[in-house]
Amino acid sequence: MNHYVLVLNCGSSSLKFSVVNPDNGDEPFKGIAERLNTNETGSLTIKTANSKQQTDLTPSTHEQALLEIVQALKNQGLAESISAVGHRVVHGGEYFSQSVVIDDSVRDKIADCIRLAPLHNPAHVTGIDAARKAFPNLTQVAVFDTAFHQQMPEKAYLYALPYELYQRHGIRRYGFHGTSFRYISAQLPQCLGIEKPKAVVCHLGNGGSLAAIDGDHSLDTTMGLTPLEGLVHGTRSGDIDPAIPTLLCQQNGMTPDSVSDLLWKQSGLLGLSGISNDCRTLEEALEQGNEAAQRAMHVYCYRLAKLIAAQVVALGGLDALVFTGGIGENSSYVRSQAVKALGFLGLHIDASKNDATIRGKQENIASAESLPIWVIPTNEEWLIAHDAHQLAQGKTL
């Protein structure tokens, strides 16, 4: 019998789920529950190899979604094949440097990290509690976005704030997208033929971050205490002068909540363009000569190039540049514009390889005289399934 892992990614109003084969990453059953805990009717969408079903969800809660997922797994004859549940958890603070089996103490530490990730961790705790009820006999494993970065040196993770804020409140750089960075770092030795390569990896999705990866760990990364810092994101600002939020409150009559909404939801590509947070839409507008789209994409690509160069400092050398995530895997425009500014680092793109490498292709898109520039599709679900399966069997990672 197959041993599948149910991978759960719980947000405040959504629950993404996927049944993953930990050996090869196959996903025979996946979907999303949406509009949870809102005034609207919730919905549950389930996709299998040959069907897609959408139903209303009442009550629209994480608990109800899991009950219906369990029922659908039984109907599909998959329930008995699930050997573990893997939870994607955004913030593990300094508690977790690798994936762990969830017990009461782990659950409480994830709850304690709510102070560091108030937008994400509350939903993870809700999801974990609901999943422990729905699958009382299965091992549940937490896989943290922050874990991969826990070996960063102090000089990379400290902010120049009173040290006491770090000591008493844990205010420091944690970094995110760790599951994706770990997946990519595991592929790199084979791609490059180097056992412990030094690589700058760009995970570019709706949120984007870079990591300076030395073999199997990061030495620096661009996201910080929260996933707001660093690159220009879809709707998030990325780096700004830290005086701006105070100034907006003092001079523009904004409240802390409205500033937060502005920085998280109305900025980034959306704020700069006034058109969309979606890179595809902006590239289409750019082709039509739209100036607002051009402005947004220019800021995006310039910031990306600048931060790539900064990550090379952390590594003290470079064996390869890597692109991944929805934008990194698909936007030959973003890749070419960013790398155009990095010739001084020995990075040059081959235009035709770049244009051909989209939609899940894995390829070195560098020209002959360049350091390697790889596009590698990421697979966070597979890594979560791998960790959950290993730990459920009592093995080490």
Supply the minimum distance, in Å, between the C-beta of residue 281 and ligand ADP.
7
**Catalytic residue flag (residue 239):** no
Supply the minimum distance, in Å, between the C-beta of residue 143 and ligand ADP.
15
- Give dist(CA 320, CA 362) in Å, integer: 14
Q: In this structure, how many other beta carbons lie within 10 angstroms of the beta carbon of residue 359?
A: 7
Using CB under 6 A as the criterion, which residues of the chain lie in contact with ligand ADP when the complex forms?
205-207, 234, 278-280, 283, 325-327, 330-331, 358
Supply the minimum distance, in Å, between the C-beta of residue 148 and ligand ADP.
16
67, two tokens:
């009950």
- Give dist(CA 337, CA 148) in Å, integer: 29
Peptide bond into 377 cis (omega under 30): no
- Residue closer to ligand ADP, measured from CB, 100 or 297: 297
253, two tokens:
């009559």
144, two tokens:
């943290």
- Residue closer to ligand ADP, measured from CB, 22 or 268: 268
Chain centre distance of CA 239: 18
Supply the minimum distance, in Å, between the C-beta of residue 389 and ligand ADP.
23
Cβ contacts of residue 245 below 8 Å, gap of 6+? 256, 259, 263
- Residue closer to ligand ADP, measured from CB, 267 or 330: 330
- Give dist(CA 364, CA 205) in Å, integer: 20
Q: How far is CA 303 from CA 224, 269, 310, in A?
A: 16, 12, 11
Helices (H), the chain: 62-75, 104-112, 121-134, 154-157, 163-169, 178-192, 244-252, 256-265, 268-273, 279-287, 291-315, 325-330, 332-340, 351-356, 380-392
Helix, strand or coil for residue 314? helix
Supply the minimum distance, in Å, between the C-beta of residue 120 and ligand ADP.
13
Give the active site residue among 145, 220, 319, 387. 145
- Give dist(CA 350, CA 262) in Å, integer: 38
Residue nearest to ligand ADP (CB): 326
Q: In this structure, how many other beta carbons lie within 10 angstroms of the beta carbon of residue 73?
A: 21
Helix, strand or coil for residue 200? strand
Supply the minimum distance, in Å, between the C-beta of residue 171 and ligand ADP.
25
- Residue closer to ligand ADP, measured from CB, 7 or 73: 7
- Residue closer to ligand ADP, measured from CB, 140 or 273: 273
Of 97, 128, 130, nearest in space to 114 by CA: 128
- Residue closer to ligand ADP, measured from CB, 22 or 207: 207
For the annotated catalytic residues, the residue numbers are: 145
